[in-house]
Amino acid sequence: MRTLIITLMLAVMTAANAQTNGNDKAKVAEIRAKYSMYKELAARNKNEEAPRSDMTITSNYIIPGCGPTKENIYYAFDLQQDGETGRDYYWPYLIERSYNVAARNYYQEYLYDRNNHSLLFVYVKETSFNGQVNETRYYYGDDSWTYHTVKGEQFGSSEEMLYLGTRLIEGFGYIMNSGD
């Protein structure tokens, strides 16, 4: 009897874990589909012949102890309308950020849902001093669901990437929406 109870408990735990993993896979697949669509929109946006809705900010500055740094932030965005006020505003669906700190190079992508403005995905690629390439992918969903994958060493945490994504959105709002 005891063996039967343990076997049933293990079966339930395995089924619950499989359901969670299946749920994770479904959410990741949905985010990847949006990623492909939004990257295609951004690629068309970068075409000089088409009407554009994008912005690039380039900064050059010195980091004490590290030397000169060049940072590029690219925003691909849409014109949207607030359903309550009827007011038009711009909202980015993709942000690409690249910069260096001394000899280390960083590249980040932030993907936002075009409908509810939530952060969906963050990709971070870092090249270390010895040339090793590290990649971290963060997936975000409803109800504080997060999932990440790492190749090499992990860069940051899901909370840090969420914070950085929020700061990039705030900066965009100050420039494109008169400080909103």
The whole-number pLDDT of residue 21 equals: 61
| pTM given for the model | 0.82
Contacts of 153 (CB under 8 A, 6+ apart): 126, 128, 132, 134
The whole-number pLDDT of residue 146 equals: 84
Q: Which candidate, 60, 100, 106, 95, places its Cα nearest to that of 173?
A: 95
Read off the pLDDT of each residue in 138-162 and give the average, rounded to a whole number. Answer: 87
Tokens 């060049």 sit on residue: 70
Output 7 or 36, whichever has higher pLDDT. 36
Read off the pLDDT of each residue in 83-98 and give the average, rounded to a whole number. Answer: 94
Q: Give per-residue pLDDT as tens, 93-120.
A: 999 999 998 888 999 999 999 888 999 9
Burial profile 131-162: b = 16 or more Cβ within 10 angstroms, e = fewer: eeebbbbbbbbeeeebbbeeeeeebbebeebb
Q: Give per-residue pLDDT as tens, 52-67.
A: 899 999 999 999 988 9
Q: How confident is the model at residue 75 (pLDDT cuts 50, 70, 90)?
A: very high
Burial class (CB in 10 A: 0-12, 13-18, 19+), 126: buried
Beta strand ranges found along 49-152 (DSSP E): 54-63, 67-81, 88-101, 104-112, 119-127, 133-140, 146-151
Residues of the chain with pLDDT > 90, as a percent, come to 56
The whole-number pLDDT of residue 147 equals: 87
Phi, psi of 29 (to 5 degrees): -60, -40
> Bridge partners of 116?
none
* 143 has a pLDDT exceeding 80: no
Instruction: Give the chain's mean pLDDT.
Output: 84
Tokens 């995905």 sit on residue: 121
The whole-number pLDDT of residue 179 equals: 59
Confirm if 134 and 152 have CB atoms less than 8 A apart.
yes
